[in-house]
Amino acid sequence: MNSERRKELLFNVLMNGVAPLVAIMIAFAIGGIVITSLGTNPFAFFSRMFSLNFGTLRGVSQMIYRATPYFFTAMALSFAFKAGLFNIGAEGQMFIGGLALAWVGFTFTWLPFPILFVLCLIAGFLGGALWGAIPGYLKVKRGAHEVITTIMMNFIAIALVQYLVQNHFMNPNWGIPHTPTVAEGAYAPSLDKVIPWFPAGTRANIMFLVAIILAGLTLVLLDRTKLGYEIRATGLNPNSAEYAGIDISSRTVMTMAISGGFAGMATANFILGPGSHYFLKSEYGGIGFSGIAVGLLGRNNPLGIILAAVLFGFLENGALGVQLYFPNVPRQIVEIMQAIILIVLVIVLELARKFLKRLQKRG
């Protein structure tokens, strides 16, 4: 029993701690080599990136602002993963949820804060949940694999929101295809209103706190409730879960709905947080897909995902600022690093798994 526990600890440390860190370090090393080959000192580059993010509180809040939406789309991947499902449709679920929450925000304009704000979040959740539940239903009733259906639902979502915005919500005189602005009751207060040491006028907003609360709630749901147990059991072994009397069909649909609901709230950071306060599709492209990388890097653990999202926020925010100081390094260096993190992580995880297996065989 004791050695069992020690093995489990080793497994956890290796797979969830060491592997992601190694992947990140290798990505920085390879990024550094590319930067050197462009004739720039990589240490100067990365230290500038570091100071842009951590040098001032404004930098920190910018980083948080950019990190927040990744948490939601990453959770969409990871929550489904708990039930053994691959939700690749966070992008589409994010768009549908985003339009839904904006619609509530600019329709029920008379409602005060925080009622309208909360209603917007619920609308975003439900919009994403609907878009996530459809592939879940198709899997249960028709046996359609969710990877295929969620990917295809992305395209439908993109076309649908574009159609709705351009033909129903947009004023043709605006020139830019966006919805009307949400009412003040829906605004997400900036972080300085809640935590006084953040700089005034920061764009980081309470959606980051919402993310942290949701991470905690998800942990409780998965570890401490019957539903969570059933979801995990379905993921670990659907056959024995069914044998144990768990209704796998309803759990599959429900998992996909909650998963999509997470993605549906991703754009609240931009729409309800300080900024333009309207839904503009072209502002959010790619956040759903990047969520896949963030979820994997966070090892499908809500707390890990917060850290991984902050890392992506660090890279995105840094990539913007460093261009002022290192004009010959293209911003795509960051995308290269994000990709390397992912590739190396998969390799390192596989190596760690083999290593652990050999350890187990030995006794």
Partner 1 sequence: MRLNRKFLVTISVVLSIALVSGFVFTSFAQDSDKTYRIGLVFDVGGKGDKSFNDSAYRGLEWAKNGSDEFENFEALPINFTTIEPGSGGAGRADAMRMMASQGFDLVIGVGFLFTDAATDLARNFPNVNFAVVDYAQFENIPSNLRGLSFAEHEGSFLVGALAAMKSETRKIGFVGGQKSPLIGKFEAGFKSGAWYVNPDLEISVNYVGTTGEAFANPAKGKEIAKAMYSNDVDVIYHAAGLSGSGVIEAAAETGNYAIGVDSDQDYMAPGHVLTSMLKRVDVSVYQTIRDVVEGDFEGGTVKSFGPEDNGVGYAVDVFNRVEEFPELVEQLENEGIVKLPALGETQISPKRIDQLPSENLLTDSMLARVEELKSQLVDGEFTVPSDPEEVSAEEPVKR
- Name the site residues for partner 1 (rule: CB under 8 A): 62, 66, 159, 162-163, 166-167, 172, 174-177, 270, 275-276, 280, 282-287, 316-317, 319-321, 323-324, 327, 330-331, 334-335
Question: d(Cα 313, Cα 83) in Å, to the nearest integer?
Answer: 28
Smallest separation (angstroms) from partner 1 to the CB of 352? 31
Count of CA atoms in the C-beta half-sphere (13 A) of 184? 1
Smallest separation (angstroms) from partner 1 to the CB of 284? 6
Exposure b/e, 302-326, CB count within 10 A at least 16 = b:
bebbbbbbbbbbbbbbbbebbeeeb
Going by C-alpha positions, the residue among 265, 269, 215, 217 that lies closest to residue 63 is 269
Residue with tokens 């764009």: 203
Residue number with CB closer to partner 1 (252 or 317): 317
Residue number with CB closer to partner 1 (219 or 336): 336
Residue number with CB closer to partner 1 (284 or 314): 284
Residue number with CB closer to partner 1 (300 or 317): 317
Question: d(Cα 194, Cα 207) in Å, to the nearest integer?
Answer: 12
Residue number with CB closer to partner 1 (167 or 250): 167
Smallest separation (angstroms) from partner 1 to the CB of 285? 5
**Who contacts 23 (Cβ-Cβ below 8 Å, separation ≥6)?**
297, 340, 341, 342, 344, 345, 348
Smallest separation (angstroms) from partner 1 to the CB of 238? 36
Residue number with CB closer to partner 1 (261 or 313): 313
Amino acid at 140: V
Question: d(Cα 99, Cα 102) in Å, to the nearest integer?
Answer: 5
Smallest separation (angstroms) from partner 1 to the CB of 176? 6
Q: Name the strand (E) or helix (H) holding 101.
A: helix 90-107
Question: d(Cα 216, Cα 237) in Å, to the nearest integer?
Answer: 25
Q: Give the residues across from 190 on adjacent strands.
A: 205
Assigned token pair, 343? 């590739």
Residue number with CB closer to partner 1 (242 or 283): 283
Smallest separation (angstroms) from partner 1 to the CB of 286? 4
Smallest separation (angstroms) from partner 1 to the CB of 167? 7
Question: d(Cα 298, Cα 300) in Å, to the nearest integer?
Answer: 5
